[in-house]
Chain A
Amino acid sequence: MGRRMLCLYFPSLAMDRLQREDPTRKLRPFAVTREIKGQPCIDAVNLPASGAGIRPGVRLADARTVLPELDATPDDPIANARVKQRFIEWCGRYSPLVADDGFGGIVLDILGCAHLFGGEAAMLQDIQTRIRRSGYRLRGAIAGTLGAAWALARYGKRVIVTAEQLHDALDPLPINALRLPERIISELRRLGITSIAALRGIPRQSLATRYGSEIILRLDQAFGHAEEPIAPYRPPSPYRALRTLAEPVGTVSAVQYVLLDLLKEICARLEREHDGARRLNLDCYRVDGTAAKCCIGTSKPVRSVTHLMRLFSEKLDSLDAGFGIETLVLSVPNYDEFDPEQISFPQFDPDQGDTELDGFIDRLGMRLGFQSVCRFHIQESLLPECSVEFQPVTTAGIPHAIWPDYRVRPVCFIDPPARIEVPAGSSDTPPAQFQFGHRLHRIVRAEGPERLTTEWWRDESQPWESRDYYRVEDDRGDRFWIFQERHPTRWYLRGHFP
């Protein structure tokens, strides 16, 4: 089957992370501690501390009696995981299949990827130098199976092993390299079985009856007799294009140039497979081992290079190139079916130009958010605040409810309603005047009341029971929609009529 797996192992991730956070820790004795039975115990030490005789495993209090100036920090598994996650994402520049190996390392499926980086040795060398440059110790190994690469990265001397060399490379390794539970390892050691070669000498049947099927499975996985799938961190998008640049770029125009190339490739494939993109991600990998992301969405499936390029160019201005971008990956996580269209002469087809409006709506959505670009939808409700919905253009249209002619409504709606001052005594009749702000409005004409009660099926609690709406006109000709709330009696301005 010929798989090639690359395993990366961080021997001292927590220590490296803490020393990177504060480089002065490299110069003085420093330890990472972990709580065992309620007491802080030393988990890892740096060079000055180990030179002073501090070993991992002892209690921090004991270590401090030997070396009072020992600086210690408790381990933070969440921060470690975050660092590892960053490296998993960054490894996406080498292979689309990158996974956490479940034991504090990273595994890459590099079949068909290594030649892009000058072969397996050069690729491994490249990864190691880059990660080590950022201050983390690292061991890596390449083998035909995940089990073998895992073992070689932790215990092996050789780092690149072909299928023929697999047995020779694995046999001298200790049995810890097989990813077995601690219980089985200690029992095997008690029996004097310390290397993989010795374990392989025992008949499989008796191993299985004594230690269960797991030991057989791990052996088979290491030697390639059993399949071992990996769960890639990000399911690679079927639409994915990558460009690695000879020299890092830092300008928007250079990124645009590469992006245009990537878009052409993706759009050609989208057209061939009758799909249209709904969402595109551009991942820009910087030289310092970090990544910048840029993401666009569309309201309809799209495969026009110019349209997508315009959407991206509005986002690219805010892209932070850092020390320079050396790899760009364009992927399409969301796409929809988009059937090819018959090309027609514009003078015979009035709908031809519709795409331009869609393009404009997409650009509006990118800048303002799609929730700000709405169509109106009239709902089945008598309450004025519930009868109109602003519906984002991306959602499918629903037919409008019927709007009867007698329901006269204002053009400008005030929500929440504004309090107005009305002379006392005018209850259940339209007021003779009301004051809003500094202006006193003398009412010359009124229509109403239109009594609207709460709708029982709405569960948002409305403190009022019914509101009497009046349409009123003041002596200048301005027309308002006001309502009265009872218990206590209050008047509110709800809108303006033209």
Chain B
Amino acid sequence: MPTLSQLQEQIDRLEGTQRRKLRTAPICDFIDKALPYNGLPLGCIHEVKSRDLASAIAFAALLSARIPATGSILYVAPDRSLYPPGLLPYGIRLEQWLHIFARQPDDLIWTVSEAIRCPQVNAVLAVMKKTDLALCRRLQLAAESSGATGFLLGNATSAPVASAITRWRISSVNGPAGRGFDEAFWELELSYCRGGRPGKWMVAWRNGRLEAFRFLSKVPIRPVRPNVFLPASAKAG
């Protein structure tokens, strides 16, 4: 069917994203299958939100660690609350990361738009409280031209990103009893995906990869005694 493929190409050209030829990063098997691109598309803007920002940062960090390129990863934020040792279980390489501290909103927007334009940047993780349609569109165009991937992080109160290719909502859930705090249990909601369908998955971050987990009971039983744990230094001191 030559006419159909020609039409498809024409639509792709108009959409500007060329989604069939997009580079992608794998998330995990069952989510990749649900996405129209066979993975997370690179060179575009994604919105990642969670209740308290920590889950959003961790999810964006684990996605950016899967980008198959050796560029830098920039974290742009108005404060210095990021604690990189907490991200180590999510597979990040610290030497790849740059932390940029921009207190003024104008500086932050300038930094993000310049960073996304730089071809040596793999991914930009930005904590932006306020965005508007023109800014989002500009970021999207810059990302398409340079190939950098933008993750705009937010919590429940931050403004929605108008032109994101995908929008993710991450809610922490209670995991099964006896699981450690280096594992994470999330309800991963894909609330918007351009050219695809929204979806919702229960996932666990375990042993360096995302897996599905079955939600056993709504409220897990509280352990009677906490797992007592003393580090070596405390015993010595």
Contacts and interface: CB of A to CB of B under 8 A. Distances in A.
Contacts of B172: 476-479, 498
A470 B229 CA distance: 10
Contact of A406 (B51, B100, B174, B231): B231
Contacts of B184: 497-498
Nearest to A373: B100
| Interface-centre pick from A353, A356, A403, A498 (highest chain B CB count, 10 A) | A498
Given A413-B83, A447-B227, A498-B59, A376 B94 contact: yes
B226 interface: yes
Interface string B98-121: 111110000100110011001111
Interface string A366-396: 0110001111101000101001101001000
Interface string A458-498: 00000000100011010111110000000000000001111
A475 B84 contact: no
A473 B173 CA distance: 9
Contacts of A447: 180-181, 226-227, 229
Interface stretch (B16-24, B190-198, B217-225): B217-225
B82 to A, nearest CB: 7
A161 B84 CA distance: 72
A450 B120 contact: no
B220 A445 contact: yes
Contact of A498 (B58, B80, B81): B58
**What DSSP secondary structure best describes chain B's contact surface?**
mixed
A356 B54 contact: no
A365 B85 CA distance: 25
A387 B231 CA distance: 16
Interface in A431-462: 443-453
A496 B87 CA distance: 12
A493 to B, nearest CB: 11
Interface of A: 350, 353-354, 356-357, 360-361, 363-364, 367-368, 372-376, 378, 382, 384, 387-388, 390, 393, 397, 400, 403, 405-415, 429-430, 443-453, 466, 470-471, 473, 475-479, 495-498
Size band of the B side of the interface? 35 or more
A453 B175 CA distance: 31
B174 A445 contact: yes
A448 B229 contact: yes
Contact of A382 (B102, B227, B233): B233
Contacts of B120: 353-354, 356-357, 360
Given A412-B54, A497-B181, A372 B83 contact: no
A122 to B, nearest CB: 48
A429 B98 contact: no
Nearest to B110: A367
A477 B81 contact: no
Interface of B: 50-55, 57-59, 70-72, 80-90, 94-95, 97-102, 107, 110-111, 114-115, 118-121, 171-175, 177, 180-182, 184-186, 205, 219-220, 222-223, 226-231, 233-234, 237
A367 B181 contact: no
12 contacts: A357-B118, A374-B100, A388-B83, A408-B180, A408-B181, A411-B83, A412-B83, A412-B86, A447-B181, A451-B234, A452-B233, A476-B51
A407 B219 contact: no
Contacts of B70: 350
Contacts of A408: 86, 89, 180-182
Nearest to B51: A478
A452 B232 CA distance: 10
Given A448-B226, A453-B233, A495 B83 contact: yes
Contacts of A429: 226
Given A376-B99, A408-B180, A477-B174, A444 B222 contact: yes
Given A357-B120, A444-B220, 19 more contacts: A357-B71, A360-B118, A373-B98, A373-B100, A373-B101, A390-B101, A408-B89, A412-B52, A412-B57, A412-B81, A412-B82, A414-B81, A447-B180, A447-B227, A451-B231, A466-B237, A473-B174, A475-B219, A498-B86
A370 to B, nearest CB: 11
B58 to A, nearest CB: 3
Contacts of B171: 477
B54 to A, nearest CB: 4
A378 B227 CA distance: 27
A382 B233 CA distance: 8
B68 to A, nearest CB: 13
A483 to B, nearest CB: 13
A496 B100 contact: no
A40 to B, nearest CB: 52
Which A-B residue pairs are the 8 nearest by beta carbons?
A: A498-B58, A413-B83, A496-B54, A357-B120, A477-B172, A411-B86, A477-B173, A451-B234
B164 to A, nearest CB: 21
Contact of A430 (B58, B82, B111, B226): B226
A374 B174 contact: no
Given A410-B86, A477-B173, A498 B54 contact: yes
B217 to A, nearest CB: 11
Contacts of B85: 378, 387-388, 403, 407, 409
A392 B15 CA distance: 40
Nearest to A451: B234
Contacts of B229: 447-450
B91 to A, nearest CB: 13
Nearest to B57: A411
B54 A407 contact: no
B54 A410 contact: yes
Nearest to A376: B84
A367 B107 contact: yes
Nearest to B84: A376
Contacts of A479: 172, 181
A453 B177 contact: no
B59 A393 contact: no
A372 B72 contact: no
